[in-house]
Structure 1
Amino acid sequence: MSDQARWYVVHTYSGYENKVAGSIENAVENRKLHDLICEVRVPSETVTEIKDNKKREVERKIFPSYVLIKMVMNDETWYVVRNIRGVTGFVGPGSKPVPLTDEEVARLGVEKNEIEINFEVGDNVSIIDGYFDGFIGKVTSIEKEKGIVRLTVSMMGKDVPVELSLDQVVAFV
């Protein structure tokens, strides 16, 4: 069932995001809905704030008043989520929940696709996408957390630095 799960957006009262997420997780535990409601997230980021000449790390919600839920939509799951205290409804026309598209999920960074790399600094790689498609480059650095690889490509006898995403290159065979 979990392969049929899609991401939905739930609107909540302001400041209730974490309470709603916790309540949904408790409902999933109590009603044994693990196969129908897979994941609950409150998207947030850590920001460095400077106040009164003091630096501190603050957790800030990216989408205040919204909670993202990966679930299989049916009458039971709709009822469970809709009746959690603090939930005002699903995002969609009327009260009909509309799942996020794959493009929206990718843009929001909700799901991180782990890219497995089989090359390291100093290796030659083949570029398989983009402007430099078909070129061979030498890896100078890899930033796996950002999904970036930097390499030098030889063009007209000169080494040109290039920055590409990890999915644009493969190990040269």
Structure 2
Amino acid sequence: MKKKEWYILKIINGEEKYIINKIKEKLLKYIKYIFIPTKKYIRVKNGKKKIYKEKIIPGYMFIKIYLNKYILLILKKIKGILGFLNERNNKLPLKINKNELKNIIKNKYNNSYKIGDNVIINSGIFNNIKGKIEKIKKNNIILSIKLLGRNTKIELNINNINKY
């Protein structure tokens, strides 16, 4: 068997578990990895912390697989799979290398928030307070919030905010 390569599948958002199960059921010996990039965040409600996952790139799934025309046909027949990124007529889709994969995920994760975005704090003493992003650091964000009638800047971890 040839080397397994990375590809990006276009899928129907919300069908991820079904698609992963079907791929594993039909093609287990041909795949090495399947994943959907997500980030975790914590939300506090009524004093209880709950961890949520959010898809970084909704509608796409990353798969490391040995791919030929036969396997391509099997994948395309699975309900919820729309096709491949870099798909070409009557040919195998273009593979992506590991560095491209890392860059796609890194750039999408880092660009999920931008300066000026309105967000809501989801934990801690400022829970449910709305603010505006002033500055973005590696894993932290500086927000401007209204506190006692004044604009106040606070620094929070990126996991402690959500867009609204």
TM class by shorter chain equals 0.5 to 0.7
Cα separation, 2, equivalents of 1:52 and 1:83: 45
Tell me which residue corresponds to 1:41.
35
| Residue deviations 1:100-128 (CA, integer Å, cap 9, x gap) | 1232133337xxxxxxxxxxxxxxxxxxx
- How far apart are residue 67 of structure 1 and its match? 1.2
1:48 counterpart letter in structure 2 = I
Aligned residue runs from structure 1 range 1-173, under 5 A: 1=1, 4-29=3-28, 34=29, 36-51=30-45, 54-94=48-88, 97-107=93-103, 108=105
Q: How many residues align?
A: 103
Instruction: Indicate the residue corresponding to 1:166 in structure 2.
Output: none
Question: Deviation at 1:79?
Answer: 1.1
> Which amino acid counterpart does residue 77 of structure 1 have in structure 2?
I
C-alpha RMSD over aligned residues: 2.3
Corresponding residue SS for 2:33: strand
User: Please, which runs of 5 or more residues in structure 2 have no aligned partner?
Assistant: 107-164
Which residue identity is paired with 2:85? Answer: V
TM-score (norm 2): 0.54
Q: Where has structure 1 moved over 6 Å in runs of 4 or more?
A: none
Identity among equivalent pairs (%): 23
SS of aligned partner of 2:94:
coil
- The farther-off stretch of 82-91 and 43-52 is 43-52
Gaps of 5+ in 1: 110-173
The 8 Å contact of residues 6 and 98 in structure 2, kept in 1 or not, is answered as no
Question: Partners of 1:98 and 1:51 in 2: how far apart?
Answer: 45
Query: SS at 1:73's partner residue?
Result: coil
The structure whose RCO (Cα within 8 Å, separation 6+) is larger is 2
After superposition, the Cα gap between the structure-2 partners of 1:5 and 1:74, relative to the gap in structure 1 and judged at 3 Å, is same
Q: Deviations over 1:121-172 (max 9, x none)?
A: xxxxxxxxxxxxxxxxxxxxxxxxxxxxxxxxxxxxxxxxxxxxxxxxxxxx
| CA distance, structure 2, for counterparts of residue 49 and residue 87 of structure 1 | 32
* Alpha-carbon spacing, 1:37–1:83, altered in 2? closer, same or farther (3 Å): same
Q: Per-residue CA shift, 1:33-92, capped at 9, x if unaligned?
A: x1x322222222221124566531002222211111111221121111111111011111
Checking the alignment, whether the CA contact within 8 Å between 1:10 and 1:91 is kept in structure 2 is yes
Q: Is the radius of gyration larger for structure 1 or structure 2?
A: 1
Report the Cα distance in structure 1 between the residues aligned to 2:14 and 2:82, rounded to whole angstroms. 13
